[in-house]
Chain A
Amino acid sequence: MRFGSSRRRPSSHRRHRAARPLSLVLALFLMGALYAALSPATQVAADTGMSAQVAEGKALFQVTCSSCHGLNGEGTSQGPSLVGVGAAAVEFQMGTNRMPMAKPGAQAPRKVVQYTAQEINNIARYVHTLGPGPDIPPSSAYDYSNLDDDAIARGGELFRTNCSACHQAAANGGALPNGKHAPALHGVEPLHIYEAIRTGPQQMPVFSAGAIPDKDVAAMIGYLKGLDQQPSAGFSLGGLGPVTEGFFGWVLGIGGLCLVATWIASRGARAK
């Protein structure tokens, strides 16, 4: 009742009906201007180079990787989380094109690389921001060009101790349970050998610098590169040991002897 009567009463203090919204807009404008004037504009400029690479990597990640690893690399039921795997893991998986996988399976096989080094590097930089992990190493970390014979022999000993259980003494690879396998290591980039040792892709365990320092990794790479240059006398039969060698021995060796024995004892062609 009282409220109603006061509204109708004419007043000398009456303001324009648009005054309140206008003052609000003015206050907001003032605040915005004040913020723009006081906030450090230089910070934005300093970050652009890095964040552009990360942003490009993130955009590519969301197109190529996110259906299995999640929009932010958090992992889904189809693929593991990538938080903390580091740039080295991305460089290894994409540099050998094991990732992206063509189809789900026991293991991601090595394929022909589809991405440019720049694209792989962008995604690696983005994934590296998700959590601390091993970074892509400088080539000095695994430089094996100056190793003497002693160091290469020691690399062979380390390889047989740590790697030959799965990759075989001659690095020809081998079978693992349920359709998985340890790949052959011939012709693999030294960078990828280093990254696999440090990141432990798929079923492979990690071998950290605390147990195997960089110089030992370089020695192992030197041994593997030396193996690649070894001349093999004739067919290697897969280099897998007694199974293939026994197969050839029984089928070709004993089979050939049976044919010769049959020829010796047969009566041969007759005149009638």
Chain B
Amino acid sequence: MTPEHSTTLVTTEDDALLHPVPNPGIEHHVERYTDVDAKAADRAYKQVVAIFGLVPLLAIAFVVIYFAVPRHATAQVLGVNWQLSNTLLGLTGGLAVLLIGVGAIHWSRQLMNDTEIAEERHSAASNEEERAGFVDVVNEGVRDAGVSRRKMVLASMGGALGIIAVPAIVTLADIGPYPTAAVRRETIEKTIWADGVRVVNDSNLIPLKASDLEIGQLVNAEPETLADLHGKDYMNMKSKTPLVIVRMDPNSIKIPESRKDWHVGGILAYSKICTHVGCPISLWEQQTHHLLCPCHQSTFDLGNSGVVVFGPAARALPQLPLKVDAQGYLVAQSDFTVPVGPSYFERDSRNDYKDGDR
């Protein structure tokens, strides 16, 4: 394509496409009141000075309030309890900054020179000459480097750059053990719940007696052995082992044949961690037996082995088999039978309870 040809093409576009309607030009200029009326201009001038003049007053008020108003003083105004110091400092300081801006805009709108101008937007591309010059520079560089005669130089450099990525990627192995089935069984699929581990109330660590729990009761619980852990292990288990323990009338709930030994007189224990994305749940309606997750409204029926009755969760809440020890305290029979918490890629979901399982 010759330069002349391309120029012709651009010109055609200019006429037909870039200007489909005639250019109306700049709107007819109408003067402001402050341009035609000296009194109006004088008024605007005084307004701007007054606005700016308020700023020092507010600044002084700010300093006075800072020292004079006690830090914890409060006042009831409009039925709201205001913390005086913060409120007054915010009002004076904020208003001072706002007035600087308002004054500047008022000044520019009413008093500064009111001419309107239009500038044609120029093309973002460099001109032909500069573009040709750039290509020349690149070609000269390639010629100087001798790449066209000694082709292996480029190939070997590409290989060298490529292989550098391998050490970088290999160091990613430090992130953690590769999640093989054996590793998963010992890590994310295991908690410290085990045969005989006592159930204690969260926060006050009181061990729970089956005889003390009433129908309609909910307990936020954790394993007694959690208190022996520290640091990372503690945080890990603190987030995986929590339970919601509820007591319901055994005659008013569904207990499948396979789980008839998992409860103690209607006391059932479920994982507190939602199977959707792992929020802790304890919003339980004692009359409907529904447990509601506050994050995405997944709802589990604790009177029916924790099946999902609403929301995005895909799996029933894992249930922990309970029994009582010789002193009458609630203890676990084993670990959870399925992994607790949200789904992950390798998770085997065939063992989860589904509505209607026996």
Contact = CB atoms under 8 A, between A and B. Distances in A.
B216 A177 contact: no
B44 to A, nearest CB: 11
A207 B217 contact: yes
A25 interface: no
A202 B287 CA distance: 7
Given A203-B287, A211-B208, A263-B105, A176 B32 contact: no
B349 interface: no
Contacts of A263: 105
A165 B216 contact: no
Contacts, number: 110
A234 B256 CA distance: 54
Given A165-B294, A211-B201, A233-B86, A203 B212 contact: no
Contacts of A210: 206, 208-209, 211-213
The size bracket of the interface on B is 35 or more
Interface in B183-239: 201-204, 206, 208-209, 211-220
A272 B217 CA distance: 78
B292 interface: yes
A208 interface: yes
Question: Main SS of chain B's interface residues?
Answer: mixed
Which DSSP category, helix, strand, loop or mixed, fits chain A's interface? loop
A212 B217 CA distance: 11
A177 B288 CA distance: 11
Contact of B292 (A161, A176, A200): A176
Contact of A203 (B31, B35, B285): B285
A232 B80 contact: yes
Interface string A142-177: 000000000000100110011001100000000011
B287 A231 contact: no
B208 A205 contact: no
A270 interface: yes
Contacts of B105: 263-264
A205 B213 CA distance: 11
Contact of A231 (B74, B109, B110, B219): B74
A203 B286 contact: yes
Contacts of A233: 82-83, 86-87
Given A210-B212, A269-B32, 8 more contacts: A165-B281, A202-B287, A203-B286, A213-B204, A234-B87, A268-B32, A268-B110, A271-B37
16 contacts: A162-B203, A165-B283, A200-B217, A203-B287, A205-B217, A206-B286, A209-B212, A211-B208, A212-B201, A231-B74, A233-B82, A268-B110, A269-B32, A270-B30, A271-B30, A271-B35
